[in-house]
Structure 1
Amino acid sequence: MSTTLAQAVYSEFQQRFAYEPLLVRAPGRVNLIGEHTDYNGGFVLPAAVDKEIFFAVGLNGGTTIRLVAHDLGETFELADAAAISPSTTDWANYLLGVAAQLQQRGVAVPGFDCVFSGNIPIGAGMSSSAAVECGLAFALDQLLHAGLDKMALAHVAQKAEHTYAGVQSGIMDQFASLFGHEGQVIRLDCRSLDYTYFPFDTQAARIVLCNSGVKHSLASSEYNTRRQECERGVALLQQHYPDVTSLRDATLAQLEAHRAELGDLIFRRCAYVVQENARVEAATQHLEAGDLAAFGQEMYASHAGLRDDYEVSCVELDVLVEAAQAAPGVFGARMMGGGFGGCTINLVAPEQVEPFIASVSAVYQQRFGLTLETYQTTIVAGVGAVSQELVMSSDQ
């Protein structure tokens, strides 16, 4: 945990508002395997990681909401907490949306002050937005004694993203930020919201993210297209198998039986999702057996499916995965997130992390003339309060 960040947030709150805040830490997340399965009612395998956002939050006794983005050096003020609406300040909307969603659940949100700062890389697919939403939702729930459980807070944060940020995200990002456990990944059933923890030995493998630095404009339009293609596949299968309500229910045998009817494109899209759900299941069994090499093979297979059948990769991501495969001490690698850019996620033996970064960076520089940005992360606990003693002692 970055006590210096927590200290900076605490100090700015004290200087601006001159009373004691509640301190909260909210982590970003990675998804080890299970991509584009969430909106198909399938499985994902996320974990909270040690890139995080810190909040100092307090009730100010009035009606005014005062927000401070420490990193940006920007402030936002709303005179009446009872009259929240979306603003033209993008970053403030993630926080205002949370307060609005709490109000919709019948929680009376009075005036409050919030200072926040973080080290989650923006645009790297680690869900900085979900961390912002979940951190404030947790803080306000604590301060107002609202008694909402973590799943309710995840829904509050998700709805805030839908309504105030305009992003129709699934529940995985908010769920992972709130439900994370140190040294554990979480298999989440995106249909039932049942979840199970599995051990992940961060002494045996480090999680290293390689940021392609590429953000292709295709990402959002192609994402919507993939959803539609999957829905077309389900509609066709339902005519033969009424029980298939999502690709979660479909089998490869069913797809094969109607391959001609589906057509090559829809068949490949659906086959990828069915196989990816099976890979998540297999990956959790490998974790329980302590077999990181086998887990890594599922990651490579996931990337191949995303590249060839789902067609959401790009040349930069493919080069990064190929470079990882050629490097010593790498258990597995794949693209992470919606696709067409963003990061690859790599499992690397701790003693090989530095050589891995050096070799992959050299390949990337040679191929694209770009400097590769990398992040090492470990798996940590989810959203929680930070003791003031910890922050105060680090200031001595």
Structure 2
Amino acid sequence: MTADERMALMTEAFAARYGHPPTLWTRAPGRVDLMGSHTDYNHGFILTMTIDRDTWFAARPRADRTVRVASLDMGGESTFSLDAVNTDHDQRWANYVRGMASVMQEAGYTLAGVDALIHTTVPVSAGLSSSAALEMAAGRMFEAVAGLAIDPVQLAVFGQRAENNFVGVNCGILDQYTSAVGQAGSALLLDARTITSQNVPLTPDIRVVICDTRTKRELAGSEYGRRRAQCEEGARALAAFYPGITHLRDVNLAQFEARAGELEPEVARRCRFIVEENARVAAFATALSAGDRSAMSDLCAASFAGARDLYAITSCEMQVMLAAMLAAPGCIAARQAGAGFGGCMAAFVEAGSETAFAAQVAPAYQAATGIEPHIYPVVASAGAGRVE
């Protein structure tokens, strides 16, 4: 679907629902992490990239303080007053929009009522940050309707706060930051402690291909929170030996090795993965920019092995997908994407081999699992903003 076709579809649906056409549009992309699983909430480093799958809002300001928002994809409508932003227990997707309104107002911004319609091409619960895309597009909509100007990093902070405090997911800032700040044609090397990043140019002869296992995982589930709690427990224990440590980002491998025996075994495995994964991020950014295929392959293999054996965030389907990806034409490297527990994998494929790669991976995965995967190349797109 082209942008014009998408706009026409949404305009027709908006007018049918609200009785008038929209007057403004906003969008925000999903994202994929290229290296750095679960390092963000450990104040670590992440190599992340926006994708050309995004969430759009069609909107029209209202004269009152009512917000009406509907979704073409998720179904239903949610209505609330900006004077009393409460949780919607029926349309749970709407809580990401409500959460943005709540935290923006708590920060002192005066918002205005709006009618809105959502359409997204970001797969839900696949590890491509559909919730962050929804939050960032909603934030840009509220900004536009109220005539505000909000810094992209501040918008990302609002998104994380909305998800933590309103939705109830204890996520880091990776997803929101990437969606808000991302640049077309570049990955971002993000420092989750300082919330700063540098662009990492992508070499045109290597393509990123998403391989969706189509097995869903719930980010709000107990296992995600348990991993985070274990990391925090490990950091507290290591701080007794190394003053100044507040997060696992502060621990190098030699320090960890010296004191790993002081940790409960499962906590030690979780911490080892984070310490090793954090060190892989900068190395992978360098390898990707240089087109060093051997280093990319080794680093991705180590990342997946750690995700499987130490952090326990892989699944049988992810392992089947990995084997199919690595055996396919043009595949340079492959690893998990997102938080794991199912969802998507990311492959780095020689440009021009994308079709042959997908043609081999899809039937191999389906034969082994009985599930038809979704496989598609992605490119880095611009961060959240207005659609003109």
TM-score tier after normalising by the smaller chain length: over 0.9
Counterpart amino acid of 1:377? V
**Cα deviations by residue, 1:7-55 (Å, 9 ceiling, x for unpaired):** 3223333453425511112111111110011111101111111101111
Q: Which runs of 5+ in 1 are unaligned?
A: 388-396
Encode CA deviations 1:320-360: one digit per residue, 9 max, x unaligned.
11222222211111111222211111111232212222222
**2: CA distance, partners of 1:171 / 1:218:** 14
Measured on the aligned residues, the alpha-carbon RMSD in Å equals 2.1
With the length of structure 1 as denominator, give the TM-score of the two structures: 0.91
Distance in 1 (CA, whole Å) between partners of 2:355 and 2:153 is: 38
Aligned to 2:367: 366
Alignment of 1:315-394 (within 5 A): 315-387=316-388
Q: Which amino acid aligns with 1:64?
A: T
Moved over 4 A (4+): 216-219
Task: Write out per-residue CA displacement over residues 242-261 of structure 1, whole angstroms, 9 at most, x where no aligned residue.
Answer: 12221111121112222332
The CA distance in 2 between the partners of 1:351 and 1:208, in whole Å, is 12
The Cα offsets for residues 365-388 of structure 1, whole Å up to 9 and x where unpaired, read as 22222222223211111112112x
Q: Over residues 89-131 of structure 1, what are the superposed CA-to-partner deviations in whole Å (9 max), with x where a residue is unaligned?
A: 2122221221122211222222211111111111211111111
From 161, 182, 185, give the equivalent of 2:184.
182
Cα distance in 2 for partners of 1:224, 1:153 equals 24
Whether the 8 Å CA contact 1:219–1:340 is kept in 2: the answer is no
| Alpha carbons of structure 1 residues 61 and 219: separation in structure 2 relative to 1, 3 Å | closer
Distance 1:318 1:81, change over 3 A: same
Which whole-Å CA distance do the structure 2 matches of 1:217 and 1:179 have between them?
25
Counterpart for residue 390 of structure 1: none
State the match for 1:294 in structure 2.
Answer: 295
Q: State the distance in 2 between where 1:62 and 1:289 align.
A: 54
Distance between the aligned counterparts of 1:109 and 1:176, measured in 2? 24
Matched residue, 2:212: 211
Cα deviation, residue 218, structure 1 = 10
Structure with a larger share of its residues in helix: 1
- CA–CA distance in structure 2, aligned partners of residues 20 and 254 of structure 1: 57
Task: Tell me which residue corresponds to 1:31.
Answer: 33
Q: Distance in 2 between matches of 1:218 and 1:109?
A: 29
CA distance in 1, matches of 2:92, 2:114: 19
Task: Give the secondary-structure state (helix, strand or coil) at the position aligned to 1:338.
Answer: coil
Q: Is the 8 A contact 2:128 2:344 kept in 1?
A: no
Q: Is the 8 A contact 1:48 1:379 kept in 2?
A: yes
Contact 2:125 2:219 in 1 (8 A): no
Distance in 1, matches of 2:140 and 2:372, equals: 37
Structure 2: where are the runs of 5+ without partners? none
Matched, 1:237 2:231: no
SS for the counterpart of 1:374 is strand
Contact in 1 for aligned 2:23/2:60 (Cα 8 Å):
yes
| Paired residue secondary structure (2:214) | strand
Aligned counterpart, 1:281: 282
Q: For 2:363 and 2:333, locate their aligned partners in 1 and report how far apart those are by CA, in whole Å.
A: 19
1:64 is matched with 66
Deviations 1:259-304 (A, max 9, x none): 3323543333222111111110101222332334423432221111
Q: From the superposition, tell whether residues 163 and 17 of structure 1 become closer, same or farther in structure 2 (CA, over 3 Å).
A: farther
Q: 1:114 is matched with which residue: 113, 116, 133?
A: 116
Which moved further from structure 2: 141-150 or 40-49? Answer: 141-150
Give the partner amino acid of 1:265. Answer: E
Question: Contact conserved, 1:53 with 1:117, CA < 8 A, in 2?
Answer: yes
> 2:74 & 2:153 partners in 1: Cα distance?
30
2:61 is matched by which residue type in structure 1? L
Amino acid at match of 1:112: V
Pick which of 39-48 and 19-28 moved more. 19-28
| Superposition deviation, residue 188 in structure 1 | 0.9
Q: Is 1:94 the equivalent of 2:96?
A: yes
Instruction: Provide the C-alpha distance between the structure 2 equivalents of 1:25 and 1:56, rounded to a whole number of angstroms.
Output: 9
Q: Distance in 1 between matches of 2:64 and 2:50?
A: 35
- Give the 3 Å change call, closer, same or farther, for CA 218–376 of structure 1 in structure 2: closer
Query: Partner amino acid for 2:155?
Result: L
Q: Is the 8 A contact 2:133 2:176 kept in 1?
A: yes
CA apart distance, 1:153: 1.1
**1:13–1:304 distance in 2 versus 1, CA, 3 Å:** same
- CA 1:68–1:215: 2 relative to 1, 3 Å: closer
TM-aligned CA distance change 1:216 to 1:68, over 3 Å:
closer
**Do 1:9 and 1:54's aligned partners in 2 also have CA atoms closer than 8 Å?**
no
After superposition, give the CA deviation of every residue in 1:154-192 in whole Å (9 maximum; x if it has no partner). Answer: 122222222332222211111111111011011111111
Give the Cα–Cα distance (whole angstroms) in 1 for the partners of residues 41 and 66 of structure 2: 38
In structure 1, the residue matched to 2:56 is 54
Identity %: 37
For residue 134 of structure 2, give the secondary structure of its aligned residue in structure 1. helix
Q: Give me the whole-angstrom Cα distance separating, in 2, the residues matched to 1:19 and 1:316.
A: 44
**TM superposition score normalised by structure 2:** 0.92
- Count the aligned residue pairs: 385
**Alignment match, 1:254:** 255
Deviates more, 1:28-37 or 1:365-374: 365-374
Which secondary structure state, in structure 2, belongs to the residue aligned with residue 120 of structure 1?
coil
SS at match of 1:214: coil
Alignment check: 8 A CA contact 1:219 1:339 kept: no
Instruction: Tell which deviates more after alignment, 6-15 or 334-343.
Output: 6-15
